[in-house]
Each structure stands twice: as C-alpha cells, then as structure tokens.
Amino acid sequence: MKEQLRLLLRTGSLTDAAAARERLRTFVERASMPETNRLWRTVNKWWKEIEVLIVTGATTAKVEANNTAIKHIKRTGRGFVNGWNYRARVMLRSAARTTVC
C-alpha cells in the first residue's frame, strides 16, 4: 500500500494519477483491512489537494525545514544571559548550516 501511494504521489499527470488511484483502490479492496480502508478514505478526502500537488509539484517541505532550523537555533541560545554570547552562538549555528565542505 505504501509503495502504491508513493507511486500515486510521484505521477506526472492527472491521467497517470487517476490510474494509480484505481490501482490503489484495487489493492485496498483486496487487502480488506481497517488500516487500508482508512488510507483509502483519507486519499479520497484529500484528492483535490493531491491533484494540486501533482499539477504544481508545490509542497511546504522547504518552509517546514526552515521553521525547524529556526527552532533549533532558538533552542541553542537558551541559557545564555549575555546577549552578545547569544548572538554569537546563533550566528555560529547558522553559519555551520550554510557552509559547504
């Protein structure tokens, strides 16, 4: 099921996505398990959004990665009383993430 869902999400056109969706439906029916039925309901519920993903290829992955990086940087500064030390630590942390080896 997982691999079939991945194939569906990687398709390049809505036609291919519809075919992959039908294959997924077939697998879900054959499996006849509560987990796969729940997956099928979720795919159907989110189908409009999945179509947008397939057409545009747009995700929030970069935004989420940046938010996580900001949280890690803020976490690094906890415990510093001196503002200069805090800024230096944040800058060092940021620079380490952008340096190419």
Number of domains forming the structure of the chain: 2
Report residue 93 as tokens.
């942390």
Quick one: 23 and 67 in the same domain? no
Quick one: 17 and 31 in the same domain? yes
Walk along the chain (101 residues) and give the pLDDT tens digit of each residue.
899 999 999 998 999 999 999 999 999 999 999 999 999 999 999 999 999 989 988 788 888 888 888 788 777 767 777 888 877 877 777 776 555 55
Quick one: 65 and 26 in the same domain? no
Quick one: 9 and 50 in the same domain? yes
Burial class, 73, CB count within 10 angstroms (exposed 0-12 / middle 13-18 / buried 19+)? middle
Domain that holds residue 40: 2-56
Quick one: 39 and 81 in the same domain? no
Quick one: 52 and 67 in the same domain? no
Which pTM does this prediction carry? 0.60
Helix runs in the chain, H state only: 2-10, 14-31, 34-45, 47-56, 61-76, 83-98
Quick one: 9 and 46 in the same domain? yes
